[in-house]
A and B are shown apart, each in its own frame.
Chain A
Amino acid sequence: MRKTVPAIAVLLLPLVCQAAPGQDEQWETTMSMETEGMTMPPMTQTVCTPKGAKTENRMLDRNCRMLDSKQSGNKSTFRFACEEGADKWTGTGEMERIGSDAYRGTMNASGTRDGQPFTMKMNVSGKRKGTCTYEDPRRKVDELMAQRQAMMAKECDGMIEQLQPGVFFGGNGLPDDALVCKDRQADFCAKVASVTAGMRDVNGYTAAKEKYGDTWREAAKACGTDPASVTGPLCGSAVTGRNWQFLAANCPDEAATLRKENCTGRTYTSVAADFRELCAAVGGLSYTAQRPSTSNTDTTDTGKGLTDKLKEGAGKLRKFLKF
């Protein structure tokens, strides 16, 4: 079974110190740890702590809280509890100040880490090295979080601009944790409403389709708008206005109906002139209407024109009927 070494369990390691002048305290700390029969070699690093911070507080991770502490002379004892996700652990510590510029102490902790039980003993010591400027790690985290949120907001703005519904509503196999813009659904749908409102005439529709392709359909559906409510009136207008190119490109149902009524089974020359453009547009290069053989051929080949075939057939009949 894997044994977890909770290396950062209880020690507060305030920001690794910047070697810069300031009002706060720069300490060199050394820590050694023993857990589950394993001993970690001593680690030394320079850290910066707020001016006047309690020594024992310096030893605690930010996931930990002090339950109580007692002071007796230059020694103090304390109890603490820590929590990080599902992991919890508690412990006790003892600290001895050596003058105003040094300390040493021990801590014992037990609990779970990564779901595994652990016990641990730590020896710590510290020596003041000078001054520094303390930076609150929580503030740093908050700044990073703010940066991340700003970045995500920008990403979400981009997805709104592109009408990409996935990160707002999921679907297409996206896991739930990919819904990073879930809280912007209202903004997304406002954009969708704005775009679809502009698609109520052919020019607006064509421009939007050129910009968004068919993504707008998914976006509209995600926001509860039936794409047919946008295309329906346009397709109706395309039929009455005989805008066959628009119809062929955007209205498959209407195009199929008109094709069946006016194109299928007719030759290029026999189709009504009014519908020739329609048939070419909706049939295009895949037009495969079943129809009689063309009557307007320009047969070059020897003796096999219509007249020749009739003559040939008549000859055969004559021979057969002997007239």
Chain B
Amino acid sequence: MRLNIGQAFGLVRLLVGATLVVLVSSARAQVDPFPEIARAYLVELDGAPLWARHADEALAPASLTKLMTALLAAEAGAADQIVTVDDDAAAETGSRIGLRAGDRVRAGDLLAATLIGSANDACGALADWVAGSRQAFVERMNRRAAALGLSKTAFTNPCGHDAPGHLSTANDLAALAAEAMKVTAIASLVKRIDGEIATVDGTRRFRFDNRNALIGRYPGAVGVKSGFTARAGKCVIALARRDGHSALVVLLNAPDRWWTAHALLDRAFAHAGAPSVP
């Protein structure tokens, strides 16, 4: 088969484009100065990747999953709507604030408990309220993930329990965090040191600290979410702002996640003031 000039030109453009994609992809993936700190990690400065390791490897994301649940709940609006906690939500295990079936709580308060306290009972109640069922909510989660271009992310539950096929990547989670932080309701909650909510009738109160240990401890930390399961290990998405710069760290299965995140944020900000890549 003979190509005419137009076809040949198009082919060349295609090849050049593909080469560029490969080069850009490998440039994103290759700068890994800290191979020992986590199974996978990603550090971004002002939205641009600085360092990464296995950032496209699909791993268990634990409670970082709740960012998607929070995003869908926040996008559903009506924070003042009253949610009645159902049996499934009340039976949630792991991190919880102690909701009981029949408790009536405002959706905005459940969102706070989900994001700040990483409470699975609040998370489950939110998911059930938003979609009517867990299965329907999970379908929404995966549709939203696809719409965001999170190509290696798949959810099987709203709160991050270990389960076959419940996976995401450092790159996808960074994109999810960026999307979630655009929502004022979420951004204002994930930077709080602690929170307190109550049932609508005021008879039961729930107090919780932010599970993200960097909040209130790392200067400039403004979010966003931590997580832990046996399969995922210790995880965190940490966002800090300083001197007009924004640094994001995603750590998946990082044994010393707080110290590591702290040091990586420091280095990212130092990099912002440095003339060249270390």
Q: Which positions in A face B, CB cutoff 8 Å? A: 245, 267-269, 273, 276, 279-281, 283-288, 294, 296-305, 307-308
Chain A, residue nearest B120 (CB): A300
Q: Do B228 and A268 touch across chains, with their CB atoms under 8 A apart?
A: no
Q: Do B262 and A268 touch across chains, with their CB atoms under 8 A apart?
A: yes
Q: Do B266 and A300 touch across chains, with their CB atoms under 8 A apart?
A: no
Tell which of A280, A283, A288, A300 touches B160, judged by Cβ atoms closer than 8 Å: A300
Bitwise, B16-48 to A at CB < 8 A (1) or not (0) is 000000000000000000101100000000000
Bound complex: CA of A154 vs CA of B161, how far in Å?
70
B160 neighbours in A (Cβ, 8 Å): 300
Q: Do B94 and A268 touch across chains, with their CB atoms under 8 A apart?
A: no
- Is B129's CB within 8 Å of the partner chain A? no
- Is B263's CB within 8 Å of the partner chain A? yes
Bound complex: CA of A245 vs CA of B94, how far in Å?
38
Q: Do B217 and A300 touch across chains, with their CB atoms under 8 A apart?
A: no
- Is B142's CB within 8 Å of the partner chain A? no
Q: Do A269 and B213 touch across chains, with their CB atoms under 8 A apart?
A: yes
B229 neighbours in A (Cβ, 8 Å): 299-301
Q: Do B266 and A299 touch across chains, with their CB atoms under 8 A apart?
A: no
Q: Do A299 and B94 touch across chains, with their CB atoms under 8 A apart?
A: yes
- Is B93's CB within 8 Å of the partner chain A? yes
Tell which of B93, B96, B228, B256 touches A297, judged by Cβ atoms closer than 8 Å: B228
User: In the complex, how many angstroms separate the beta carbon of A156 from the nearest chain B beta carbon?
Assistant: 30
Q: Do B34 and A285 touch across chains, with their CB atoms under 8 A apart?
A: yes
Tell which of A281, A287, A305 touches B256, judged by Cβ atoms closer than 8 Å: A287
Known: A298-B118, A298-B227; 15 extra A-B contacts, CB below 8 A, are: A269-B217, A280-B262, A280-B266, A283-B263, A297-B95, A298-B211, A299-B228, A300-B62, A300-B65, A300-B120, A300-B160, A300-B162, A301-B93, A301-B229, A304-B93
B159 neighbours in A (Cβ, 8 Å): 300
Q: Report the 7 A-B pairs with minimum CB-CB distance, sorted nearest first.
A: A268-B258, A298-B211, A298-B118, A301-B229, A300-B160, A280-B262, A303-B93
- Is B171's CB within 8 Å of the partner chain A? no
Q: Do B262 and A276 touch across chains, with their CB atoms under 8 A apart?
A: yes
Residues of B190-238 whose CB lies within 8 A of A: 209, 211, 213, 217, 226-232, 234
A297 neighbours in B (Cβ, 8 Å): 95, 211, 228, 234
